[in-house]
Structure 1
Amino acid sequence: MDRSGKMRKRKKRGDERAAAGAPSPSSASFDLHFFPVLLAAARTTRQSSSSCSPAALAARLLRRVLSHSPQTLSPLPASLVALLPLLLSSSCSSVAALSCEVLGAAALRSIEAGETLASHSGIASGLARTLGSRNQRVIEAACNSILDLSASSVGRERLAGSPVLPRTLHLFCQVESVYGFAHSRSTECPERSTEANKIMCLIIDTLVLLVNSCKIGNLQNVQQELARNVLSLLYKIWKKTQPLRSSTDCNKWKNKLQSKEYDISKSIFRLSTGLAFPAWPEPDVVRKSVFGETVSDFETFVLAYWEKLPNLYRRKQATKMDSLVFVALHNAFNLGTTPDSIIESLLQGLVSCPAIASDELDINSFLHEVHDSLGDSVKYRQDIRVMRTRDPNDQTSRGCVTEEHFFDDGTVFTDEDAFIEKCKHAFKNGYSIALRGMEFRSEKVAAIASALADLFGQPSVGANIYFSPAGSQGLARHYDDHCVLVWQLLGSKKWTVWPNPKPLLPRLYEPFDPLDGNLDESSGRVEVLHEGDMMYIPRGYVHEARTDVSGSEVNDCSLHLTLAIEVEAPFEWEGFAHIALHCWAEKQQLRGSQSVEFEGKAGASLSAIVLHVAIRLLSDSEPVFRKACMVAAKAATSSSSCTSTTTHLEALRSSQRSTFDEILRKIDQSCSIKEALERIVSAVRERDDGAFQWMSWLRHLPQQGTAAGYIIDFCNVLGALEALVEAFDSDPGQALDGLTAFKSGFCRRVAYEDACEAFGTLLEMYRMARTQYMRGMLALHGAGAHVS
C-alpha cells in the first residue's frame, strides 16, 4: 500500500480514537474534539452505512457523552446545546434518538438544566420534528426526553406552549396501535406486539402530561379538527381504563400506562374547552318554540309574567312534532321506547358533575379544586336523586309530607350496570328519577340552555330531567330559588301552583324558609301538562306535581325537562347597582375626588364600600333589587331587522332603563349611610371576616386604583375599612355628611351606559367560565367530540 493509503488508514484510526478512546470531555475539550464531528454530522443530509461516516462517529460520541461523561451533562456545554436542534433533526435515526437521550439525561441530572433546555425554542422545535419520525426508536426517545424535561412545572409549561404539543397530538392520531386499541372492544392489556403497546402507552402519557400542563388559552389555539380527532380517541381510551380499577388486568396496565384515570379525564376536559360546538338550535328558534313566533310574544312574557306570575303555554297535540326543538329532545332521550330503555338511555355513560363556585371565573382554579375527582362516577344528590313522596292522605298531618329517598346521601355508583338495575327497580316501586345538569350531559340540551341564557341576559341556564312512574309524586311540595320553564316531553303531569304572598323573591343559594303547612289547598292553580306543553313558574312560588291525572284516558309515566333560569348575585338589579357604583367611584378616584379624608388612601373607593353596604341593606326590604336585570338580554338576532322587532326591543330596553331610574331614586331616598357605617364599625371591631363576603364578586370588575396607589381587595375588605372606621370615630358628623354627599353625587351623575358596558363585560366573563365548564363536561359524556 502506498504512502497515501497508509496516511488514510492512520487518519481513520485517529478519528476512531477521538470518538472511542479520547478522555472524558470537559467543556473545553468538547469544543476541541467533539464539536467538529457533531457539527459535520448535523450538516450531513445523506444516510451512510459506513462506520466512519460523520453520523456514525457522532453517534459514538453521543453514546460516550451518555455513558462515560457525567460532568459533560452538568451542565451541557453551550456549543452542544447550540448543536442539539440540528442533531435532533438529523436524518440518521441513531443521532436523533441519542440526542433525545442526552437531553433527557441532562434534565434528570439537574432541574435547572432541564428548565433551561425546555425553554430553548430551537430544542423544542427539534423535539417536535423528532416526533414526526417514522422510526419507532426515535419516537420513543423523544417521548422519554419530553417526560424527563417535564420533571418541573416550568419545564412542563414551556414544552406545552411550544410546537411539541401540536406535534404530539398529530402523532397520537397517527399511531396505528393507538387507533387500534381505541376502537377495539376489549379492555384487556394486549399480550401481542409488546413494542407497539409500549410506544402507544408512552405517547398517551406524553400527550396527557402536555395537555394538562398547557395554559387553557393556548389549548384554544389547537386546530379544531385536530382537537376533535384527539378527543374522540382519548375518550375511547379513557372509557377503557375506567373498568380497570377492579380488574385483574389492572396491574398489567399499571406497568405500561403511567397516566392515572383522572389525568386522562382532565386532558379530555381541558382540550375540549376551546371547541366550538354547533350552535343548534339558534336562539331565535328556541324563543319561538317556547314563547311564540314574534318578538312581541317574548316582550309580553317579560312584562306580564317574568318573576311575577305563572303562565302556561299550550301546544296543539296535532302539531307538537312540528317543533324542531321538541322533536330533537324527544329523540335525544329515546322516548318512544319502554321505561327500562328510557332509564338506560338517561343513565348510561354518566359521570359526576362537581359544582363550580358561583363566582369562579378561572377554570384552572376549578380544575385544581377537583384534582383527582374529575370524571368520577355519579354521586347521589349531587348528580341524581331517586325519590317519592307519599300521598298526603297517608300522612298523620298534612304539613309533614316528606320525600323518601331510595339511596343514601353521598352514595357513589361505581358499578354502572348495578346502579341502572336498582334505578329500574325503584321506578317500578313508585320512585321518580331526577337527573341534574342535563346541559352538561346532552349537547342538544346544552344548545337550548345556552340560547335561553342569551335570551334572558344571564350567564347560564340549568337543566334537569324528571322521569316519574304512573300514579306517583317525586318531589315534595316546595318552592325554588330560581325560575323554571317546565317542558312536558312524555306523558302527562298534573301541577298545582300556589300564589306567592311574599314580596321579596328568594335569592339564589340562600337558605329556604320551611313550608308552614298552612297553605290554602283551594287557592292553588291546577294545570295538566300534556306532551309539548310548557309552564313557567317564578322563583318563590310553591308547587307540586303528580302523574295521577284524573280523567285522563292514559295514566302512564311522565318525563319532563326543567330549564332553570338562575339569577346570580351580579345579575340581579342589586348587582347592577353595585356595578354602576363601582364604575362611578373609579371615575371619581381618577379625578382625585375625595368625599372623606382617609389618611391619604383612595377616598372614593372607601366611600363606595360604605354605599355598597347601604345598597345591600336596602335590598333586604325592596323587592325591585332582587329582580333579574336584563339589560344584556338578546330578544332576537341581528338578522331580525324588521320594524316591529326593533320596536319591541326598544320597549324592553326602555323598561330596563326605567327600572334603573327607580332604583336610583330608592337609593337616594332610602339608603341609610348611618346604618351602613354602624354595620361596618361592628364588623371591623369584631373582626367578622364573613360580613362582606357577599361582595367578593366585585373583584372581577377592573380597578384603576394603581394610579392612586390603592386597590380594594373585595375578598377581604376589613383591612381597608379600618381607616374608614378611624375617620368615623374621630369626626362622625363630618364623615356622615361627606358620605351622604357621595351618595347623592352617585345617584345624580352616574352614567347608565357605563354600567351597561361593565355589566356586559362581566356577563361575558361569567359566560366564558360556564361555557368552558359545559364543554369540558360534555366531552366527558362523549358529546363534545361527537364520539359514540
Structure 2
Amino acid sequence: MGNTYFSVQRLPLVLAASLDAWRPRPTTAAAAPRTETNAGGAMHPNAMDRRGKRKKRKERGDEAVANGLSASSAPFDRRVFPTLLAAAQTSGQSSISAALAARVLRRVLSRAPQMLSPLPDSLVALLPCLLSSSCSSVAALSCEVLGAAALQSMEAGEVLASDSGIAIGLVRALGSRNQRVTEAACENVKLTSCRYLFCQVESICEFVNSRTTRLSKRDAAANKISYLIIDTVVLLVNSCKFDKLRSIQHELIRNALSFLYTIWKNVQLLRSSADCNNSKYQLQSREYEITKAIFRLSTGLASPACLEPDVIRKSIFGQGESNFENFVLAHWEKSPNLYRRKQKPQNDDPVFAALHSAFNLGAAADAIIESFVKGLASCPAIASDELDINSFLQEVHDSLGNAVKYREDIRVLRTQDPSDQTSKGCAMEEHFFDDGTVFLDEDEFTKKCKHAFKNGYSIALRGMEFRCEKVAAIASALADLFGQPSVGANIYFSPARSQGLARHYDDHCVLVWQLLGCKKWMIWPNPKPFLPRLYEPFDPLDDTIDDNSGRVEILHEGDMLYVPRGYVHEAHTDVGESQMNAYGVYSLHLTLAIEVEPPFEWEGFTHIALHCWVEKQKLGGCSQFDKSMTKDETSLYALVLHVAIRLLSDKDPIFRKACLVAAKLPSSSSCATSHLKALRSSQRSFFYEIIKNIEKNCNFKEALESIKLAMQEKNDEPFQWMCWLRHLPQGGDADSRIDFCNILKSLEELVEAFSSNPEQALVGFTGFKSGFCKSAVYEDACQSFETLLQMYRTTRNQYMSGMLALHGAHVN
C-alpha cells in the first residue's frame, strides 16, 4: 500500500475481502473459450458466434459488477473491491484497471441515494488510496462519491470526516495539479460543510431571533461562533455550483433559507450591536452577500403553491374543454373578449379565492395597501435572452435585495381629467414620487402610499409573480398553458372616481382580473396592421382616436377581460353612483401579461426551422440540396436567409403572431384530444403559410444590401435580434459556425464571399432557399422550439424562485 493510510480496525476486513475475491475458482470448458483460426491466421467462420457468446458473458460480468453495488457489502467485496484495489495500486493515466475503476465509481454515483448510505466498509477503506490516485478520473470520481455519501445523512458525514486517511487523501486531492480533481475536491468540502452547517443553524436561531443587542462576557464565545457559522454558510453557499446545491436535502435548504432570511432582516441591528466592541465578533458578510445566498439556495426549490395549466384554463376560460381552443382561434391577438362571472367567484373558483386571501381584500384600504407594499425588495430586470442565472447574479452584483425603486418596481400616479386641461390630446399622467426614488424607510413609504391613495392616486406594483407565491403559481400555469417562457403580473389599486394610467397600448397581451370593486374599461381597435413587438419603442398616440368609438366594458368582481397587444385602452373607477353603491368605492385588479418574446413568435419558429434544416445539411442528412456546397457556404447562405426572413417579417403581420405549438392542453378525454389536434392543425397551417411566403418573397439583394450598410457603418445594432440564436446548438467545424454574439465578423466574411460574384451568389441563395422551403420539417422545428422554451423557462423559474425567497417564500 506504500504510504497510503489504512485504519488498523479495517485492515482485517480489507485482507479478508481481497483474499476472498482472488481465491482461485474452478473453471469449465464453457468458461474457457478459445479463439479459432485457420492455417493462415484468419478467424474461423464459426468463431463469430463464439465471439458473440463471449460478449454476452462479458455483459453478464458487467451486470455482476452492477449487482455488487447493492446495499449488501458481500457482493461488493467479492466483485468490485479487487478492481478498485488494483486501480489504487496502479500508477499511470492509461491504466486499464484505472479506467475500469472509473467506470465502477460512475456506477456507484448513478445508484439511488439510499445505496450510498452506508458505503461498504471496504470501499471506505479504499477511499484514501482512490483519492490519491494518479488517474484524474479516479481521484475526481472518488471525491464525488465521498461527497454524495456524506450528504445522505449526518451520521455518514461524521464517520467519513473523522477518518484521518480520507482527510489526508482529500487534502492531496485539493493540492492536485489537475484542475478536475481540485474542483471535485473543493466541491466535496463545500457541500459536506454546507450540510453540516445547515444542521447546526437551529442551534443559533434563538440567538438570531432574539434581536439581542447586549451580550454578557459569558455569551461572547457563543456569539462569536454564531457569527462565524453565519459567515461560513454565506461563503459556502455563494461559492458552490447550482447543481451541487440541489443535491442537499430540501428540508435542510428550507431551514437554512429561513435562518438566512431572518439574518438579512436583522442585519443592520446585528452590525450595530453595542456590546460587540471587538470586530472579530461582528458579522463579516455584507448584506448583498446574504441576499445572494438566499437567492442561490432557493433556485432549486419548487413553489408549494404550484398549479396545473388545466386548473387555470378552467378558472379563466370556463369548464368546457373547447373554450380555450375557441378563444385561441377567435380572439387571441385579434379582438378583446370579456369573461363574466355569474355568481360570487369566491364560492366556485379556488384560484380567485386564493388571490382574495393573499391581498387581504376583505379589509379596509389601508390594510390592503400594507398587504402588498410592506416587505418589498427590488426586482432587477433579467435580460430577455439570458439563460445563465450566474451571469445575472454577476450583473446585479451588490444591488440584489435593494429597496424598491420608483418606476422600476412601483408607480403611484393619477391621470388628469381631460376637461381640466387647456391643451388638446390625451390626458397626462401625474406621479406622486420622483423618478428613481429609492424607498429605504419602509414605514414612511407605506405611509406616503396611503396618503397618495386618499388623494386620488392609483398604486401600480409590477412583478407580483416575484413577490407573491399564489400569483407566481397562476403566472407559471398560464405560461405553460400558452407555451411561453413566463407571464408577468402587475396589481393596480385605484380609489373612487379616478384614473391611474393614461390611455395607452401594450406590447403584450393582457388578461385583466377584477379582484375587488368594479372598473370601467374603454378599448379601441389596433390602429395599425402589425402587432407591436416586445421591447420595441412605442409610437405616440395621435388625436385620431374617437372617444365615442371605443368598446365599453364594466368589470365586476371576478370578471376577466382579454385585451390583445396593440389595442389602445384606458380604465377608471368612475362607473356611476349605482355601481359604486353596489361594489364599494375603490377597485383592485390583477393584470396577467402574456409576453411573446422574439424566439417564440412565428418569426422565431421559422428561424429555428431554418437552423434545424441547416444542421441536417452539415450532417449530410438531406439529399434534396446541392451536395457540392461546402459547410462554410451553407452557414453563410443560412445567415443571409435569417436576415431576409427578418426583413420579410417587417412586411407580413403573420410573422409577429405568437407561436403556440408548445401550449399545454388537456388530453385525458377524446373530446379534449380532438380540440388539441384542432389547435395543432392551425399551428401547422401557420407554418406552411409562412414557408410559402419565404419562398416567394425573401429577397437576397435586399438582405445583402442591409448587411453591407451595417458593415460600412460598423454597426451591429440592426442585427442584435439574432443574439438569441446562439442558444441553438451548432454542429460541424468551429470555422463553419456562426458567432451570433460577434455577428459583425460573420457578416464581414459573408460580404467578402458574395461581393466578388453577386450573380453566382444569387443563384446559390435561390437554390438554398428553395431547398429549405421544400424540405423543412415541422416536427424537427417543434422539438427544438420546445427544447429552447424549456431552457428559457428553467432560467425564469430560477429567477422567480430566488425573488420569491427574498420576499419571504420558503421561510416557514
Aligned to 1:460: 486
Q: Give a deviation string over 1:607-626, Cα, whole Å, max 9, x none.
A: 01100000000111111000
* Residue 552 (str. 1) matches residue 579 (str. 2): yes
In the alignment, is the contact (CA less than 8 A) between 1:280 and 1:447 conserved in 2? yes
Letter of the 1:564 counterpart = A
Matches within 5 A, 1:241-256: 241-242=267-268, 255-256=281-282
Aligned to 1:495: 521
Q: Give a deviation string over 1:151-172, Cα, whole Å, max 9, x none.
A: x999996566215424433433
Aligned to 1:580: 609
* Residue 672 (str. 1) matches residue 699 (str. 2): yes
Specify whether residues 243 and 299 from structure 1 end up closer, same or farther in structure 2 by C-alpha distance, changes over 3 A only: farther
**In 2, Cα distance between the equivalents of 1:556 and 1:221?**
51
Match of 1:565 among 579, 594, 609: 594
**In 2, Cα distance between the equivalents of 1:40 and 1:306?**
71
**In 2, Cα distance between the equivalents of 1:126 and 1:483?**
49
Aligned to 1:286: 312
Aligned to 1:410: 436
1:665 match: secondary structure? helix
Specify whether residues 535 and 365 from structure 1 end up closer, same or farther in structure 2 by C-alpha distance, changes over 3 A only: same
Aligned to 2:659: 629
In the alignment, is the contact (CA less than 8 A) between 1:131 and 1:168 conserved in 2? no
Match of 2:547 among 515, 518, 521: 521
* Residue 604 (str. 1) matches residue 630 (str. 2): no
2:493 match: secondary structure? strand
- Give the structure-2-normalised TM-score: 0.77
* Residue 197 (str. 1) matches residue 223 (str. 2): yes
**In 1, Cα distance between the equivalents of 2:414 and 2:465?**
24
Letter of the 1:301 counterpart = F
**In 2, Cα distance between the equivalents of 1:158 and 1:650?**
48
Specify whether residues 243 and 401 from structure 1 end up closer, same or farther in structure 2 by C-alpha distance, changes over 3 A only: farther
Aligned to 1:105: none
* Residue 683 (str. 1) matches residue 710 (str. 2): yes
Q: Give a deviation string over 1:93-131, Cα, whole Å, max 9, x none.
A: xxxxxxxxxxxxxxxxxxxxxxx99x9789989999999
Letter of the 2:781 counterpart = A
Letter of the 1:388 counterpart = R
Specify whether residues 682 and 164 from structure 1 end up closer, same or farther in structure 2 by C-alpha distance, changes over 3 A only: closer
Q: Give a deviation string over 1:29-51, Cα, whole Å, max 9, x none.
A: xx9xxx99x9999999xxxxxxx
Letter of the 1:357 counterpart = A
CA RMSD of aligned residues (A): 3.3
Aligned to 1:108: none
Letter of the 1:615 counterpart = I
Specify whether residues 604 and 512 from structure 1 end up closer, same or farther in structure 2 by C-alpha distance, changes over 3 A only: same
In the alignment, is the contact (CA less than 8 A) between 2:201 and 2:256 conserved in 1? no
Specify whether residues 721 and 272 from structure 1 end up closer, same or farther in structure 2 by C-alpha distance, changes over 3 A only: same
Letter of the 1:581 counterpart = L
Cα shift at 1:430: 0.8
**In 2, Cα distance between the equivalents of 1:154 and 1:262?**
30
**In 2, Cα distance between the equivalents of 1:41 and 1:237?**
45
2:460 match: secondary structure? strand
Q: Give a deviation string over 1:678-697, Cα, whole Å, max 9, x none.
A: 11122123221223111010
**In 2, Cα distance between the equivalents of 1:496 and 1:173?**
57
Specify whether residues 426 and 42 from structure 1 end up closer, same or farther in structure 2 by C-alpha distance, changes over 3 A only: farther
In the alignment, is the contact (CA less than 8 A) between 1:127 and 1:164 conserved in 2? no
Matches within 5 A, 1:91-110: none
Aligned to 2:403: 377
Q: Give a deviation string over 1:41-72, Cα, whole Å, max 9, x none.
A: 9999xxxxxxxxxxxxxxxxxxxxxxxxxxxx
Match of 1:224 among 245, 250, 255: 250
**What count of residue pairs does the alignment treat as equivalent?**
665
Aligned to 2:293: 267
**In 2, Cα distance between the equivalents of 1:199 and 1:742?**
69
**In 2, Cα distance between the equivalents of 1:403 and 1:468?**
14
**In 2, Cα distance between the equivalents of 1:541 and 1:254?**
61
**In 2, Cα distance between the equivalents of 1:510 and 1:676?**
21
Q: Give a deviation string over 1:181-219, Cα, whole Å, max 9, x none.
A: 2332x2636445111111111111111111111111111
Aligned to 2:35: none
* Residue 307 (str. 1) matches residue 333 (str. 2): yes
In the alignment, is the contact (CA less than 8 A) between 2:276 and 2:282 conserved in 1? no
Specify whether residues 256 and 393 from structure 1 end up closer, same or farther in structure 2 by C-alpha distance, changes over 3 A only: same
Matches within 5 A, 1:737-776: 737-776=763-802
In the alignment, is the contact (CA less than 8 A) between 2:648 and 2:697 conserved in 1? yes
**In 2, Cα distance between the equivalents of 1:190 and 1:480?**
56
Q: Give a deviation string over 1:383-406, Cα, whole Å, max 9, x none.
A: 111111111111113414211111
2:322 match: secondary structure? helix
Cα shift at 1:292: 0.8
Q: Give a deviation string over 1:746-771, Cα, whole Å, max 9, x none.
A: 11110111000000000000000000
2:579 match: secondary structure? coil
Letter of the 2:717 counterpart = G
**In 2, Cα distance between the equivalents of 1:127 and 1:330?**
45
Aligned to 1:188: 213
* Residue 509 (str. 1) matches residue 535 (str. 2): yes
Cα shift at 1:231: 1.0
Letter of the 1:621 counterpart = K
In structure 1, stretches of 5+ residues that fail to align are: 1-30, 45-115
Q: Give a deviation string over 1:489-510, Cα, whole Å, max 9, x none.
A: 0111111111112110000010
Specify whether residues 126 and 273 from structure 1 end up closer, same or farther in structure 2 by C-alpha distance, changes over 3 A only: closer
Letter of the 1:672 counterpart = N
1:660 match: secondary structure? helix
Seq. identity, %: 65
Moved more, 160-169 or 220-229: 160-169
Matches within 5 A, 1:40-119: none
Q: Give a deviation string over 1:547-585, Cα, whole Å, max 9, x none.
A: 111141425111100000000000000000000011111
Q: Give a deviation string over 1:412-457, Cα, whole Å, max 9, x none.
A: 1111111111111111111111111010111111110011001100
Q: Give a deviation string over 1:468-491, Cα, whole Å, max 9, x none.
A: 111111111100000000000011
Match of 1:663 among 683, 690, 695: 690
2:375 match: secondary structure? coil
Specify whether residues 494 and 157 from structure 1 end up closer, same or farther in structure 2 by C-alpha distance, changes over 3 A only: farther
Letter of the 1:305 counterpart = H
In the alignment, is the contact (CA less than 8 A) between 1:610 and 1:676 conserved in 2? yes
2:752 match: secondary structure? helix
Letter of the 1:673 counterpart = F
